[in-house]
Amino acid sequence: MKRVMIVDSSSVIRKVAKRILSSPEIVVAEAETGQDALDSCQIAMPASIILDHHLAGMSDLDFIAKVKELCEQSEQDMPRIYVNLFEKDVIAIMRAKRAGASGFLLKPFNRTSLINTFRELDKAA
């Protein structure tokens, strides 16, 4: 069973993503802040993380670096991290990818775009 985490201050975004992705094969965890997500990652590292580009109290790049550090310390594989943006910002996308993100999603995402992203993840696995 795959574990996916959605990190976003918007409860609506988290709820919609959870509703779309939840299935017998996928368990969806939620976190409102970067620190909440890191605390959860210390307990159980997800296979994938959907990460809001504008986290409160922590940049997306700092979050990615801290997840990398956790993975190195515990000798775990790095989860696939998808940064969630309001617009296609090439600079933000490139920075996130250099930091370790796997890709990006645009807000508001819909069922099709989210499902297609995770289909591609399954093919790559």
> Where are the domains positioned within the chain?
2-124
pLDDT at position 80 over 70: yes
Mean pLDDT of the chain: 89
Tell me what pLDDT residue 120 has: 64
| 66 residue type, one letter | K
Tell me what pLDDT residue 4 has: 93
Q: For the segment 91-105, what is each residue's pLDDT rounded down to a tens digit? A: 999 999 999 999 888
Do 65 and 99 contact (CB within 8 A), yes or no?
yes
Output the pTM of the full model.
Answer: 0.89
Class of the CATH-defined domain 2-124: alpha beta
Backbone angles phi, psi at 9, to 5 degrees: -70, -20
